[in-house]
């Protein structure tokens, strides 16, 4: 009887053994420690309240804290994974943050993380126990919530990366002129699907853009049409007024003309009305493959919030360093 049971157990393990033998990364994944929401339960139990207090204080000073921090998290995770490498400064201007695609990252996002790190490290129990990568992830959740968006549990346990190169940013971030195929392809590299693309694009419900990022859509879209035909004509004229030909490059335009300072689903209703600021926004509605998701989020803020939380959790797992793969930086802007 015992040998019969042993045979059954051995047979039941066969698929696992086949998986491990044919997929070496499965072995690595099985051994790799996982992110978890209570990672600092014994080392820094009040990390979340320490971060939140610092973020709230910064948010009260300027609303820009919210979109700046959220965008910083996205730009960090899409390049080398969520390892706070975007925070690292380079003496010769060769870090991620020096790449043209990152020069528009608002200083308020960096400042939010630095302040939260100072708050955490001012607690003797927590000093040098919490990574900058985790602080950025927590601060991102907090700014979303402070702006009116959902509160969600953040998985923790990331280590900070030791490297940051300007070259690694090249072709790693979505551009304002991307079509849906380009968006799907880039997000898929990070394990994100079409619903995630649409949900994460909903982050454009807050924040702003400089005119040069979309001026082609309102002035010289094509030989046939000066204005992008997918753009609401009235909205296009408003954008022309705000962004005249020789506009001051510092002028910023709200991504969401309806509720620019509220994290909500108005962004998706804007798309339905042809008021997506970037081509990469509007294409989510004009392309039939993603239109149904846009319509669902436009009609239900709860559906958008749920999908956004799911996508942010998935994004937060991208390329994370754990254990001795990384470090806990003493200063978020410099490797130890």
Residue ranges at the known binding site for Ca(2+):
76, 79, 81, 83, 85, 96, 205, 256, 259, 264
| φ/ψ (deg, to 5) at 39 | -55, -35
Q: Is there a catalytic annotation at residue 99?
A: no
Report how far residue 143's alpha carbon sits from residue 255's, in angstroms, rounded to the nearest whole number. Answer: 17
Annotated binding site for substrate: which residue ranges? 174
Report how far residue 198's alpha carbon sits from residue 306's, in angstroms, rounded to the nearest whole number. Answer: 12
Report how far residue 166's alpha carbon sits from residue 34's, in angstroms, rounded to the nearest whole number. Answer: 29
Annotated binding site for heme b: which residue ranges? 204
C-alpha torsion 171→175→177→181, nearest 10: 60
- CA distance from start to end of the chain: 59
Of the listed 4, 75, 99, 210, which one is catalytic? 75
Annotated binding site: which residue ranges? 76, 79, 81, 83, 85, 96, 174, 204-205, 256, 259, 264
Residue 34 token pair? 């996982």
CA 300 to chain centre: 22
Q: Which of 281, 258, 331 is nearest to 175 (CA)?
A: 281
Query: Are 51 and 135 within 8 A, CB to CB?
Result: yes
Query: Are 99 and 164 within 8 A, CB to CB?
Result: no
CB contact set of 261 (below 8 Å; sequence gap of 6+): 63, 147, 206
Query: Which residues are tagged catalytic?
Result: 75
């Amino acid at each position: 009887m015992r040998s019969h049971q042993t045979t059954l157990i051995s047979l039941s393990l066969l698929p696992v053994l086949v998986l491990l033998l044919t997929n070496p990364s499965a072995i690595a994944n099985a051994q790799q420690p996982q992110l978890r929401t209570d990672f600092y339960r014994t080392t820094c139990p009040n990390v979340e309240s320490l971060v939140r207090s610092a973020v709230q204080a910064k948010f009260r000073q300027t609303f820009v804290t919210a979109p700046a921090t959220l965008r910083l998290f996205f730009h960090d995770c899409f390049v080398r994974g969520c390892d706070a490498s975007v925070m690292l400064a380079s003496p010769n201007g060769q870090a991620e943050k020096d790449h043209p695609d990152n020069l528009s990252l608002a200083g308020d996002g960096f400042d939010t993380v630095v302040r939260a790190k100072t708050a955490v490290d001012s607690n003797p129990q927590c000093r040098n126990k919490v990574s900058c990568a985790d602080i950025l992830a927590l601060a991102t959740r907090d700014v979303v919530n402070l702006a009116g968006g959902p509160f969600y549990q953040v998985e923790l346990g990331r280590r900070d990366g030791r490297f940051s190169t300007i070259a690694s940013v090249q072709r790693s971030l979505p551009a304002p002129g991307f079509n849906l195929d380009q968006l799907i392809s880039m997000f898929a590299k990070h394990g994100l699907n079409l619903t995630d693309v649409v949900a994460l694009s909903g982050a454009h419900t807050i924040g702003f853009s400089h005119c040069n990022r979309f001026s082609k859509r309102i002035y010289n879209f094509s030989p046939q049409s000066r204005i992008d035909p997918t753009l609401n004509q009235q909205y296009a004229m408003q954008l022309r007024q705000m962004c005249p030909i020789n506009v001051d490059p510092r002028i910023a335009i709200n991504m969401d003309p309806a509720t620019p300072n509220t994290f909500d689903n108005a962004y998706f209703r804007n798309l339905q009305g042809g008021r997506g600021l970037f081509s990469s926004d509007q294409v989510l509605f004009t392309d039939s493959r993603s239109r149904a998701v846009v319509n669902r989020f436009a009609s239900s803020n709860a559906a958008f919030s749920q999908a956004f939380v799911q996508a942010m959790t998935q994004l937060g797992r991208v390329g994370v360093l754990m254990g001795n793969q990384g470090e806990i930086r003493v200063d978020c802007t410099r490797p130890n």
